[in-house]
């Protein structure tokens, strides 16, 4: 089976983890600081703050922007549940706006209709490694005085008009085991704003700047140096791995003819966390998945149920339809694209997908 995801763990990862073990200091320390520095440099921002996960990065970033009860945050329903859950953690309410069927990302043209006096932030998600239309989103945010928090969990290193994901608003990343840069579990917040960065650091560590003096309510969202060691080794592979993903995607786009392949518009640099096709025209997606799996091609469905239709979420936000997200949830199949997919694998994927 050609797997849909396969974390790469090489000698450098093992060497850096052993350094931490040998040092005897396992909690947040010099490796976390080095990983933060590498992330800030990659995103071209002043500050990067490591956390335990993408979910806690999102939560801390929202709290740092004073988002809480009574506030509304506009976001996409076509994402991993953490994007919207982090809004709920603060006591605020997610407001879902439908997506663009070509990009899988929030449709900027529908954002303004969703703005109310309670709207405090826009939380765009750069799904599959493809940056949202940040010109349009930053323009709306500026005109309505809204905060922008980017869910860049799948988009480390992705670019729009030369600008890196996580550098438009306050950026949040996940270093979960299958993400493009991983540390097993982990997260990162990126910002140019000194005050937001300081607040994120306080929230990460029980509101504590001076030991055992607590300035505000905070959490324990600190990354360990063991995790950071893995992440640091991965950061050194980022450019090379990104290039392999991009080449793999190019090959699949050039050769797959049976289903709708993803497009990349001019000005965008896609980092292909997922390579996602659409089985359109009312065809049976689940039958297609079975056929591919039986032929040895691993697949993923990201995501089978849009967030606004998850049972508990519906109780909070009400019952309504977002037709594009709901249709695409029934059409998408992600195919193996990671750096350990070989040319032979790619040819097999094309052959089997074109039989659909």
Ligand X SMILES: *Cc1c(COP(=O)(O)O)cnc(C)c1O
Binding site for ligand X (CB under 6 A): 53-55, 79-80, 82-83, 125, 151, 153-154, 174, 176, 187
- Rank residues 130 and 241 by Cβ distance to ligand X and give the closer one: 130
Q: How far is the CB of 92 from ligand X (least distance, A)?
A: 17
d(CA 87, CA 95): 10
d(CA 191, CA 43): 9
Residue among 275, 272, 296 at smallest CA distance from 352: 296
Q: How far is the CB of 197 from ligand X (least distance, A)?
A: 20
- Rank residues 176 and 352 by Cβ distance to ligand X and give the closer one: 176
d(CA 102, CA 309): 21
**Nearest to ligand X by Cβ — which residue?**
54
Q: How far is the CB of 136 from ligand X (least distance, A)?
A: 20
Identify the DSSP state of 35: H
Please say if 120 is a catalytic residue.
no
Q: Classify each residue of 310-331 as buried b or exposed e, where b means 16 or more C-beta atoms within 10 Å of its C-beta.
A: beebeeebeeeebebbbebbbb
Q: How far is the CB of 94 from ligand X (least distance, A)?
A: 13
- Rank residues 122 and 125 by Cβ distance to ligand X and give the closer one: 125
Q: Which listed residue (6, 179, 250, 348) is catalytic? A: 179
- Rank residues 2 and 125 by Cβ distance to ligand X and give the closer one: 125
Residues written for the chain: 356
Tokens of 298: 């691993």
Q: Which residue has the tokens 């953490």?
A: 82
Strand, helix or coil at 170?
A: strand
- Residues marked active site are found at 179
């Amino acid at each position: 089976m050609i797997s849909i995801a396969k974390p790469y763990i090489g000698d450098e990862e093992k060497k850096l983890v052993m350094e931490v073990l040998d040092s005897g200091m396992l909690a947040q320390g010099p490796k976390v600081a080095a990983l933060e520095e590498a992330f800030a440099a990659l995103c071209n921002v002043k500050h990067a703050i490591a956390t335990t996960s993408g979910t806690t990065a999102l939560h801390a970033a929202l709290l740092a922007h004073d988002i809480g009860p009574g506030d509304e945050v506009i976001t996409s329903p076509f994402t991993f549940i953490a994007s919207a859950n982090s809004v709920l953690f603060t006591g605020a309410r997610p407001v879902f706006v439908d997506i663009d069927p070509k990009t899988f990302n929030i449709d900027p043209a529908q954002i303004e209709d969703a703005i109310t006096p309670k709207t405090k932030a826009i939380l765009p998600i750069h799904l599959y490694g493809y940056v949202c239309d940040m010109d349009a989103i930053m323009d709306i945010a500026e005109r309505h005085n809204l905060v922008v928090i980017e869910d860049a969990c799948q988009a480390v290193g992705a670019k729009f008009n030369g600008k890196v994901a996580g550098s438009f608003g306050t950026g949040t990343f996940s270093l979960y085991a299958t993400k493009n840069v991983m540390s097993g579990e982990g997260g990162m917040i990126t910002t140019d704003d000194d005050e937001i960065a300081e607040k994120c650091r306080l929230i990460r560590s029980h509101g504590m700047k001076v030991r055992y003096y607590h300035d505000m309510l905070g959490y324990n969202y600190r990354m360990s140096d063991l995790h950071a060691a893995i992440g640091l080794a991965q950061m050194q592979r980022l450019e090379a791995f990104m290039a392999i993903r991009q080449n793999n995607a190019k090959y699949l786009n050039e050769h797959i003819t049976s289903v709708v392949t993803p497009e990349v518009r001019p000005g965008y640099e896609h980092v292909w966390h997922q390579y996602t096709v659409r089985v359109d025209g009312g065809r049976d997606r689940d039958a297609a998945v079975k056929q591919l799996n039986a032929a040895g091609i691993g697949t993923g469905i990201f995501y089978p149920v849009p967030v606004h239709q998850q049972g508990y979420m519906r109780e909070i936000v009400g019952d309504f339809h977002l037709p594009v997200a709901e249709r695409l949830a029934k059409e998408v199949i992600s195919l193996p694209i990671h750096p350990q997919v070989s040319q032979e694998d790619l040819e097999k994927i094309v052959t089997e997908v074109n039989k659909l």
